[in-house]
Structure 1
C-alpha cells in the first residue's frame, strides 16, 4: 500500500471519461456528494423535529462558521500532506460522525446538542475537504484533461442534487432521521475504498503550471517559489509516475516541505503567489464578483420573486429545475468536448451574458418565460463556472493548488452567501426589479474584469 508504482501511460493520452482511474475518482466523488445531500436532508428534518424553527435555522447555519474561518488553513493542509490523504481522512471523519449521531438518535432522544455538534464537525471538516477535493484532479489526470474533469465533476454535482434529496426523504420516511444519517454515513464510506484504488500521478515537467499562464513567472514572486521549492523537488517519483494506495508516498515531498516551513508561512506564500500571478489574481476577482451578483437573486431573491408573482412553490421549483438543466447541459458540453478554445474570452462573455439574463429574470411576464430564462442563466453560469474552475486547475502550480482552491472556495462559499440577507433586505426596500438589476451589474463586472485583463482574456486551456 505504500509502494510507488511506475505506471507508463496511466491517464496519459487517454480521454478522462474513458480512463478507469478517473472514473474511480468520479465514483468516489459522486458517492460522497450524494451522502452530503442525504446528510443535509437528515439534519434539517432532525433539527425541526427536536427544536423550534429558530433553533433549527441556527443548527443549519452553524457549520458555515468553522468552514469560513478555517478554509484557508485547509488549503495549507491539502498542499502540505497531499490532497488524497486529506480527502480520505475527511471522509472517514464525516462517516464516523454521521453514523455516531445515527446510533445516538436510534437509541435515545438527545435533543439538539448532538445535531449542533455534528454540524460543527462537518463544517470544520469541509474546510479541509473542499480545498483537497479541488487539488485532487491534477493528481488523477493530465492537464489537457482537467477541463473535461471539471465538466464530469459538474455532472456529478447535478446528479447528487437530483438523487440525494429524494433518497434522503425516502430514508426519513422509512426510518426517521437516524436512518437518513446512517445512509449518509454509508454513502460517504463508499468513497474511501474507491479513493484508495485510484492511482495518483506525479505532475510531469510540462504539467507543473507553466504557472504564469499569461506570462507570470513560475513562482509568482521569487520568494514564493523558494518557499515550496523542496515540496516540488522532493516528491520522489519521476514524471509520469503514479502512486497507488499510500498517502505516505503521495505526500513525501509535502512532508519535506512541512519540515522546512511553517503553516503560517505556507499560507502567506500561497496568498502572495495568487496576488502576483497575472491570471489567477484577476480570475479570483472575476469569480468573486460573479458569485456575489449571482447567489442572492438565485436563492432568496427567486423565492421572493415567486411569491410576488404568484407562481407558488411549484412554480419556483420549475424555475430552479430550469436552472439545473442549463447548468447540467454546460457540464455535459465540457465533458464531451474536453476543451473549448479561447477559454478566458468565452468565460468573460458568458459571465456578461449571464448577468443580463439574471437582470431579465425579474421582468419576465410568466412562469414559463421565467423557466426559459433560468435555463439560459444555468447554461451560461455553468459554462463560465466550469471554465473558471478549469483555468484555476491548469494555471496554478500543483504545489499551490490546495491554497488556490481554498481561496476560491472561501470566496464562493464564505463571502458570496452574505449577499442573501442583503438581497432580501434590499428587495423589501426597493422591490425585486431594482435589486435583480443591481445584482446583475455586480455579476457583469466579473465579466468585464475577465475581458479587460489581457492575460486572463488570452488564457487558454491545454489541448
Structure 2
C-alpha cells in the first residue's frame, strides 16, 4: 500500500486585507450590523424608560443577557455545523425582521413593556448563535497571514460603531421617538445581509494551518488527503459556507481508515449536537495554546470590566470630576483602544505575539491600579489613554491568536467559549465591584481588580507554548 499526502487546495491570497474587496464587503456588513446594534439599544432603553419604572427598564435591558449566556455554547455548535456565513446571514435577517416588526407596532400602538422584553429575549437568543458565527467568519474570508490585520480592522469597526451608533440612535429618538429609532436600527442591520451574501468563502486546509500544538483529536485531521489502498482521497473544498460534506475526512467526525489492512473505512459515529459540543470542549482543553489563552482572556476581562464601567462612574463621582470629566476619561480610553486596533490593522502582525500580549496585559493592569490614585482629570485622561492602548493591544493580539491557533472546524465553539467568558462571567464583576467600592473605597478595589487582570498576563508568560506563540507573517 502506498501513501501519498496531497496538500489541500487553498485559494491564493488576494493581497493585504485592507485592499481585499471580499474582506471589505465583510467589514462593511459587520460595521453596519454593529451600528444597528448600538442604535437598537438606545431605542430599547428609551422605550423601556418611557413605558415603565426605572427598575422595570433595567430588567428589560438586562433580560437579553440570560439566553445569550445560556445558549452561546450551543450557538458555537450551530456555527460549526452549518457554516458561519449562513448563520450570520440568518441571524441578521431574524434580528432585522424582529426590530422592524416592533417599530411598526410602536408606530400604530403602545403595546407596553411585554413587547420590549420579548424583543430583548429574541435578540439574546439570536445573539447566542450570531456571536460565535461572527468570530468564526474571518478565518473563512481571508488567509491566516491576514487574520491579525482583520482583527485590527474589526476593532476599528467596533470603535466606529460605538462612536456613530449612539448619536444616530439619539437622533432617531429625537425625530420620531422609539419607533423611528427602531426602524433605523432595522434598516442598518438589513444593509449587512446583501453584503454578507456577496462575500465569498475561502477553501481552508483541514486543520486551517493552525499551530500543531493541539494535542487533542489528532486522529480527526491526520487522515485528510491520504491515499489508502492505492485510491486517492483529496479533501473536498466544502460548500460555499465552508461546511465540509458529510463524511468528509476534514471534519471533526472524520472517517478513519483501518491502518492495518486497508479495509473499508470504519463508519463515523452519528454526529449529534451534544457530541459536537463535547468534542469542542475536549479540543480546547487539550490544546496547549488555546486552553491557557482562554484563561488569560477570562482573567483579563474579570479584572478590567468592573473598574472601567461601574467603577469609573463611582470614581468620577467621588473625585468631583462630573459627567464631563468622566466623558473625557472614557473618550481617552476609546482613543487608546482605537490606536491599538489601528496599529495591528496597519502592521498586520507583531513579533512574539504571545509575549507581547502578556506584556501589554501586565502594563494595562498596572495602569488600572494607578487610575484610582491620580487626583485630577488631566492625569486620569493620560492613564486612561494608556489603559486603552495596552488593553486594546492585548485584546487584539489575544483575538488574533484565537483565530490563527484554532482549527476552522472548531472555531465557532472556540469563539463561543471565549464569548461566554467575556459576556457571561465578566459582567458579573460589575455589581461586585460596586458593592466592594461601597465597603472599601475605590483605591483598594481598583488595585485588587488590577491584580486579577495582571494574573492573566502571568498565565500567558508562564505557559511556554502561549508565551512563544506567533502570528503568521
- Alignment TM-score, normalising by the size of structure 1: 0.91
Note the alpha carbon deviations across 1:244-270, whole angstroms, 9 max, x for none. xx55xx435379769941000000000
CA contact (8 A) 1:290 1:446 kept: yes
Cα distance 1:438–1:228, how it changes in 2: closer, same or farther (>3 A)?
farther
Note the 1:446-457 alignment, pairs <5 A.
446-457=456-467
Note the 1:46-445 alignment, pairs <5 A.
46-204=47-205, 208-212=208-212, 215-217=213-215, 220-222=216-218, 236-237=236-237, 247=241, 250-253=242-245, 260-445=270-455
1:56, distance to aligned residue in structure 2 (A): 0.1
Note the alpha carbon deviations across 1:181-240, whole angstroms, 9 max, x for none. 0010010010000001011111136x624343xx333xx2447669999xxx997328xx
Within 1, Cα distance between the matches of 2:463 and 2:52? Answer: 51
CA contact (8 A) 2:10 2:204 kept: no
CA contact (8 A) 2:10 2:202 kept: no
Within 2, Cα distance between the matches of 1:19 and 1:373? Answer: 36
CA contact (8 A) 1:323 1:376 kept: yes
Within 1, Cα distance between the matches of 2:273 and 2:234? Answer: 18
RMSD: 2.1
Question: Is the radius of gyration larger for structure 1 or structure 2?
Answer: 2
SS at match of 2:201: strand
Within 1, Cα distance between the matches of 2:50 and 2:348? Answer: 46
Within 2, Cα distance between the matches of 1:47 and 1:293? Answer: 30
Structure 2: unaligned runs, 5 residues or longer: 1-8, 226-232, 254-268
Within 2, Cα distance between the matches of 1:320 and 1:12? Answer: 38
Within 2, Cα distance between the matches of 1:173 and 1:13? Answer: 44
Note the alpha carbon deviations across 1:152-191, whole angstroms, 9 max, x for none. 0000000000000000000000010000000100100100
SS at match of 1:459: coil
Q: Which has the higher helix share?
A: 1
CA contact (8 A) 1:47 1:115 kept: yes
1:74, distance to aligned residue in structure 2 (A): 0.2
Cα distance 1:11–1:331, how it changes in 2: closer, same or farther (>3 A)?
farther
SS at match of 1:199: coil
Within 2, Cα distance between the matches of 1:11 and 1:311? Answer: 54
Within 2, Cα distance between the matches of 1:222 and 1:13? Answer: 30
SS at match of 1:139: helix
Note the alpha carbon deviations across 1:94-114, whole angstroms, 9 max, x for none. 000000000010010111011
Cα distance 1:433–1:461, how it changes in 2: closer, same or farther (>3 A)?
same
SS at match of 1:253: coil
Within 2, Cα distance between the matches of 1:303 and 1:108? Answer: 37
CA contact (8 A) 2:293 2:398 kept: yes
Note the alpha carbon deviations across 1:71-93, whole angstroms, 9 max, x for none. 00000000000000000000000
Within 2, Cα distance between the matches of 1:228 and 1:90? Answer: 32
Cα distance 1:319–1:155, how it changes in 2: closer, same or farther (>3 A)?
same
Cα distance 1:228–1:133, how it changes in 2: closer, same or farther (>3 A)?
farther
Within 2, Cα distance between the matches of 1:224 and 1:105? Answer: 52
Within 2, Cα distance between the matches of 1:404 and 1:75? Answer: 7
Cα distance 1:255–1:107, how it changes in 2: closer, same or farther (>3 A)?
farther
